[in-house]
A and B are shown apart, each in its own frame.
Chain A
């Protein structure tokens, strides 16, 4: 059984972030692989899971979620190799620190060498990121600028929008995938979802044609990519 843990959707669910957990699970089930979403509420212990999904949220909820995660088993699990998909605020939370109201700095979980400060203006709009031979498409809405420390690879190169800093978006390690494309980014990018699932399941997955492929093609066309 593949368990997808959706962390604190009450705090980190501003943009339909629960969609990522749904898409991960449904793309396994349709291939006959047992999978389920475990919703982890703010009063729950962080359970054992095959992958954790950390979504986006506003400043106050982002701080609260960071403190709750800091006090939980989550950091130790990630250091031990637990897999994580982090989008938007989630991307910042896993890093060393991030900016909050009034340009104060707030300590992140320090799980990756990514530090986020406040940009001069918000990055709002369509985001396109070249990842390997494909293009990740999505929507971003954030005020952060994220710098990656040495040894931390970006997810890809920005071809539309801002991402981390106008040039690169997100980061990835053997076990962590992060992007500023917020909300249900996996819904628009079934190929990326399947890349992640291949790592989670540990085997090649059968092709799964669906209307999501059409959606991805349409969004690429819409961005001229």
Chain B
């Protein structure tokens, strides 16, 4: 049963609706942050009251939050409230919960806000995908986030669904009383080379990892060992439309969540298979006569995963890089991306930091063209892949049409 809102909270909720409507009308974005922020100023307990009595699932981690949130919502089925615009801090959560009264709630949650959002929403399930370097000029460094998660989860009494192949995630979740571990493909290990307990080097084999202090990969409930995906003893068939091993990992974790919610896994998998894009990630869009596959990558792990999906053709690739606050203002991370795999292709460099990208590509031995005035070349046959980081991706959603 949902807790009735206090008069102050009702006022806050009305402010959320009014401001978000105004923001949309004025074309100042999708209108979820400003209203939510105002609502929380008027009534700091608003999110807690809105969440009470609902079944809340949180999804956090560096990469895959938005997609996995959509997968959990689809897999769960029925009416589900989510922060589908990707506003993943309490203001966005508040707006999502004001917008509908659905009992089922899935909230993508920024890594740095997980503790606050856990205490505000008392989630049934917290999903921890992965932790890697991202936007380091504004975020705490990645190990500090793991430590904060650990302190949050040691007293949390609900279910944690966590990636057993990411040592930082395991460190964060291991003190929690009820963890469903998932053995999912996690190729990015550059941020978990030294043990979070003893700082000595972690020992990785092809299927496991351990530290000399005894910290080691836990036994998993969900395994993606080919050829089949097994969730809690049930073999599940997945034929995702969205590409890449990382989406299979996201789906495996989403299925583990819905399994814990007592949903039939076969039906849930079918609903997840029907997803073709999430907030234009992986969508096919157009600009003039050019078809463009929209790919969002915000950090080295995300870029590495997407570059691996490009296949062996030698088509041109477009890459757009910005370094605004939401992207992290420091593009140093470009040197952690294995752009060398693009040798043999021509890369068009877009975005406000296209010269940083071009310099990186030059040292990688990749042919590049810096787009003059950020304008695209004349259209070509076929589909070009556009890889863009966060605000550059939003820019290109605006520039293109469905």
Contact A19 B332 (CB under 8 A): yes
- A149 on the interface (CB 8 Å rule)? no
Choice from A15, A125, A126, A211 contacting B358 with Cβ under 8 Å: A211
On chain B, the residues within 8 Å of A141 by CB distance are: 136-137, 330
Report whether B336 and A13 are in contact in the complex, using a CB–CB cutoff of 8 Å. Answer: yes
- Could you tell me if A212 and B362 are in contact, using CB atoms closer than 8 angstroms? yes
A187 contacts partner chain B, Cβ-Cβ < 8 Å: yes
Verify B200–A125 contact, CB threshold 8 A. Answer: no
Interface flag for A121 (CB, 8 Å): no
Contact B194 A64 (CB under 8 A): yes
Q: Is A45 an interface residue (CB 8 A)?
A: no
Tell me if A211 and B359 are in contact (CB < 8 A).
Answer: yes
Does B260 have its Cβ within 8 Å of any Cβ on chain A?
Answer: no
- Across the interface, do B329 and A16 meet the contact criterion of CB distance under 8 Å? no
List the A side residues contacting B194 at CB < 8 Å: 10-11, 42, 60-61, 64
| B373 CB, min distance to chain A CBs, angstroms | 14
- Measured between beta carbons, the chain B residues less than 8 angstroms from A63 are 199
List residues 167-218 of chain B with CB under 8 A from any CB of chain A.
Answer: 190, 193-194, 196, 199-201
State whether B359 touches A16 (Cβ < 8 A). Answer: no
In the complex, A218 has a CB within 8 A of chain B: yes
The residue in chain A whose Cβ has the minimal distance to the Cβ of B138 is: A124
Which applies to chain A's interface (DSSP): helix, strand, loop or mixed?
A: mixed
In the bound assembly, the distance between CA atoms of A215 and B354 in angstroms comes to 9
Instruction: Decide yes or no whether A3 CB sits under 8 A from chain B.
Output: no
Answer whether residue A90 sits at the interface, using C-beta atoms and an 8 A cutoff: no
CB distance from B358 to the nearest CB of A (A): 5
Contact call B143/A60, Cβ cutoff below 8 A: yes
Partner of B329, one of A17, A43, A125, A218: A125
Within 8 A of A (CB), among B351-376: 355-356, 358-360, 362-364, 368, 370
Residues of A within 8 A of B201 (CB): 10, 42-43
CB distance from A3 to the nearest CB of B (A): 18
Count how many chain B residues have C-beta atoms less than 8 Å from C-beta atoms of the other chain: 32
Give the A interface residue count (CB, 8 A).
35
The reply to whether B193 and A42 form a contact with Cβ atoms under 8 Å apart is yes
Chain A contacts for B137, CB-based, 8 A: 124-125, 139, 141
A128 within 8 A of B: no
A144 part of interface (Cβ distance < 8 Å) = no
Partner of A214, one of B136, B355, B360: B355
Measured in the bound complex, the distance between the Cα atoms of B368 and A11 in whole Å is 31
With an 8 A cutoff between CB atoms, is A14 at the interface? yes
Q: Which residues does chain A contribute within 8 Å of B363, judged by CB atoms?
A: 19, 22-23, 26, 187
Q: Are A64 and B362 in contact (CB under 8 A)?
A: no
**Count of A-B contacts judged by CB separation below 8 Å:** 95
The interface residues of chain B lying within 8 Å CB-to-CB of A183 are 330, 332-333, 335
CB-CB < 8 A to B329: which residues of A? 125-126, 139
Closest chain-A Cβ to B327's Cβ sits at a distance in Å of 13
Q: How far is the CA of A124 from the CA of B135 in the complex (A)?
A: 12
- A215 interface neighbour in B141, B336, B358, B364, Cβ under 8 Å: B358
Q: Does B133 contact A (CB under 8 A)?
A: yes
Within 8 Å by CB of A16, from B138, B196, B336, B370, lies: B336
Residues of chain B with a CB closer than 8 A to A170's CB: none
Contact partner of A184 (CB less than 8 A), chosen from B193, B200, B335, is: B335
**Assembled-state Cα–Cα distance A82/B89 (Å):** 49
> CA–CA, A126 to B355, complex, Å?
16
Whose C-beta in chain A lies nearest to the C-beta of B330? A139
CB distance from A197 to the nearest CB of B (A): 14
User: Does B334 count as interface, using CB distance less than 8 angstroms?
Assistant: yes
For the complex, what is the distance from the CA of A182 to the CA of B364, rounded to whole Å? Answer: 20
Q: How far is the CA of A1 from the CA of B266 in the complex (A)?
A: 60
Task: Tell me if B199 and A18 are in contact (CB < 8 A).
Answer: no
- B190 x A10 contact (CB < 8 A): yes
In the complex, what's the smallest C-beta–C-beta distance from A124 to chain B, in angstroms?
A: 5
Question: Smallest distance from the beta carbon of A111 to chain B beta carbons, Å?
Answer: 22
The docked-state distance in angstroms from the alpha carbon of A212 to that of B133 is: 25
Task: Identify which of A43, A184, A211, A214 gathers the most chain B CB atoms within 10 Å of its CB.
Answer: A211
Q: Using Cβ atoms and an 8 Å threshold, which residues of chain A touch B196?
A: 60
Q: Does A16 contact B334, Cβ atoms closer than 8 Å? A: yes
- Complex Cα gap A166–B131 (Å): 33
Distance of A42 Cα from B211 Cα, bound (Å): 14
Contact in complex: A15, B355 (CB < 8 Å): no
Q: Is the CB–CB distance between A215 and B190 below 8 Å?
A: no
| Mask of A130-160 contacts with B, CB within 8 angstroms, 1/0 | 0000000001010000000000000000000
A182 surroundings in chain B (CB, below 8 A): 332
- In the complex, the chain B residue whose C-beta lies closest to that of A139 is B330
Asked if B335 and A210 sit within 8 Å, CB to CB, the answer is no
- Beyond the given pairs A16-B333, A141-B330, 20 more chain A to chain B contacts, judged by CB atoms under 8 angstroms and listed by A's residue number, are A16-B334, A16-B335, A18-B336, A22-B363, A42-B194, A58-B143, A60-B194, A61-B194, A63-B199, A64-B194, A124-B138, A125-B329, A139-B332, A183-B333, A187-B335, A187-B356, A188-B359, A210-B362, A212-B359, A215-B356
Top 6 A-B pairs, shortest CB-CB distance:
A19-B335, A16-B335, A183-B332, A10-B193, A139-B330, A16-B332
Could you list 30 examples of A-B contacts with CB < 8 Å?
Answer: A10-B194, A10-B201, A14-B141, A15-B330, A15-B333, A16-B332, A16-B335, A16-B336, A18-B335, A19-B334, A19-B360, A22-B364, A26-B363, A43-B201, A58-B144, A60-B196, A63-B199, A125-B329, A139-B329, A139-B332, A183-B330, A183-B335, A184-B332, A184-B334, A187-B356, A188-B359, A211-B355, A212-B359, A212-B362, A215-B355
